[in-house]
Amino acid sequence: MNDRFKDRVVVVTGASAGVGRAAAVAFAKAGALVALVARGEEALESARREIELAGGRALAIPADVADAQAVEAAADKVEAELGPIDIWVNNAMVTIFAPVSEIAPEEFKRVTEVTYLGGVYGTMAALKRMRRRDRGTIVQVSSALAYRSIPLQSAYCGAKHALVGFLDSLRSELIHDGSAIRVTSVQMPALNTPQFGWARNKMPQLPQPVPPIFQPEVAADAILFAASHNRRNVPVGSSTWKAQWGQKFFPGLLDRYLGRVAYQGQQSGEADAHDRPDNLFSPVSSDPGSHGRFDAQAKPASPALWVEEHRGSVLGGAALLGALAALGWYGARSRSAPARVVRHRIRQASRNLRNRQP
């Protein structure tokens, strides 16, 4: 336990599993009072117990983020039972793995309602309360796929892109109003979460995140960092960085590259019998916790995230090294052959001058 977020009231949507659960536990271990929002009551209750066993305090609120009234009621309950909301983390999501031609209109609608509108409704509920006090932080859990879409996840990628557009408008409005409320977004790489075991899938094999895969605790670390630093965006992992910059400069090349590799890249090699329940319209009754089934491959840390979190010191260190290198180069140059010749000639000239004096 530490006091980094002592007594701060934090709401995490999608807190019963995966990234949301890892973040909720990390906030609680840092002293926050955490409200856990998700649909599945069994997993929510288990998340609440996990936090209390670690010495923290949590409030479980079953709600569907696609229901604006339910989100609003959840925010009311948090303020009544824990106090004014300081930090709101929009994290809940659903996805579907299938080509566009095999996704039904109601499936597109549902992914959009949960993943996009769920973020919008969460932001609205948080803003309504934060505006009264002119303080608070909204964290959107985003993705590399919010900047560079991949095949087989069009509904999800579209919703994540839409959130980027929504938040850009909101940021400008907050600046226009002179508001002190902060909005920050964390772009995640592939993560080892239960998503790939319970998402709707129309492909022959069970889906997998496209490697490199990181543990959800890496994502939680980035969320806590974003919640406590004045950053517009926090990209996590070099794969996210490459996706964002690659899309800026080579979008057509990436279309072709992903068309060739990203179908197979999202197939785990394990056959999907298609006889399991999925979480698109209702929660799956299970309690997987934060981790998915890729523990053997998943990395427990991201050096690129470390650099991002310490970028002030890294830039300062690089500038200092650059200055030292320039000084060294200048010193070496001034001791170099041409400089020695000039010095020798000056000494010779002054000797000649002395010899000529009576």
Ligand X SMILES: NC(=O)c1ccc[n+]([C@@H]2O[C@H](COP(=O)([O-])OP(=O)(O)OC[C@H]3O[C@@H](n4cnc5c(N)ncnc54)[C@H](OP(=O)(O)O)[C@@H]3O)[C@@H](O)[C@H]2O)c1
Q: Which stretch binds ligand X (CB under 6 A): 92-100, 123-131, 242-250, 300-308?
A: 92-100
Question: Nearest approach, Cβ of 111 to ligand X (angstroms)?
Answer: 10
Between residues 130 and 219, which has the closer beta carbon with respect to ligand X?
Answer: 219
What tokens appear for 123 in the block? 């932001």
If one asks whether residue 155 binds ligand X (CB under 6 A), the answer comes out as no
**Contact characters 124-153, ligand X, x per CB under 6 A:** -----------------x-x----------
Which residues in 168-207 contact ligand X (CB under 6 A)? 188, 190-191, 193-195
Q: Of 179 and 188, which has the nearer Cβ to ligand X? A: 188
Q: CA separation (Å) from 331 to 76, 138, 152, 263, 338?
A: 67, 51, 59, 56, 13
Determine which residue in the list 10, 43, 61, 174 makes contact with ligand X, applying CB under 6 A: 43
For the sheet containing 87-90, what is the strand order?
57-62, 33-38, 9-13, 87-90, 137-143, 182-188, 233-235
* Residue 265 and residue 210 in contact, taking contact as beta carbons nearer than 8 Å: yes
Is residue 330 flagged as an active site residue? no
Q: What is the nearest approach in angstroms of ligand X to the Cβ of residue 18?
A: 2
Tokens of 8: 């701060």
Catalytic residue (one of 116, 121, 147, 156): 156
Toward ligand X, which CB reaches closer, 177 or 270? 270
Q: Are 254 and 9 in contact (CB under 8 A)?
A: no
Q: 9, 10, 11, 19: which one contacts ligand X (CB under 6 A)?
A: 19
Per-residue contact track with ligand X, 304 to 323, x per CB under 6 A?
Answer: --------------------
In Å, the largest CA–CA distance within the chain is 112
Instruction: Measure the N-to-C terminal CA separation of the chain; round to a whole number of Å.
Output: 87
Say which residue the tokens 């597109």 belong to: 108
Nearest residue to 99 via CA among 284, 302, 266: 266
Residues with catalytic annotation? 156
Contacting positions for ligand X (CB under 6 A): 13-14, 16-20, 38-40, 43, 64-66, 91-94, 114, 141, 143, 188, 190-191, 193-195, 209, 279, 283
